[in-house]
Amino acid sequence: MALYTVAVAYGFVITATVFVGIFLIRTLVVLHKVKGKLSRRTHSAQRNVLYSLILQALAPLVLLFVPFVIFAVVAIHQLYDWNHIIVACVFLILLHGVASNLAMIATTPRFRDIVFSFQKSSVKKVSRA
């Protein structure tokens, strides 16, 4: 029963990954086709948003999918002496939220500006004291 559950879960993950890949390729093609019809600023903004979404999607995909694949391999082959690998995978799974938020802050100019403005204001307050 456990093997069936793992197979179904990975089936859903693979299907979702294929769907997102097709959607990504289709979006890139459409963006390339309308390049001449849009202003340079609009095209640049759409391209930046697309790249931002790609990076934000990759963080949880990599930090969740890879450890779960390793979990499946360990469970199927009953590799009980791989405890250190399992602990590292759990740590990666715990990091996916942080990585996703950091990707969002790093790739979205408005969020990045807000974070840096907080940093600048706190530096000014500390230096005045």
What pTM does this model have? Answer: 0.61
d(CA 91, CA 77): 22
Q: How confident is the model at residue 88 (pLDDT cuts 50, 70, 90)?
A: very high
Answer whether 92's CB lies under 8 Å from 63's CB. Answer: yes
Tens-place pLDDT, residues 49-79: 888 888 888 887 888 888 888 888 888 888 8
Tens-place pLDDT, residues 7-46: 777 777 778 778 878 888 888 888 888 878 888 888 888 8
DSSP structure class, residue 80: T
Q: How many helices (H) and strands (E) does the chain have?
A: 4, 0
**pLDDT in the model for residue 87:** 92
CA-closest candidate to residue 6, choices 57, 85, 75: 75
For the segment 73-90, the average pLDDT, to the nearest whole number, is 88
DSSP structure class, residue 38: S
91 residue type, one letter: F
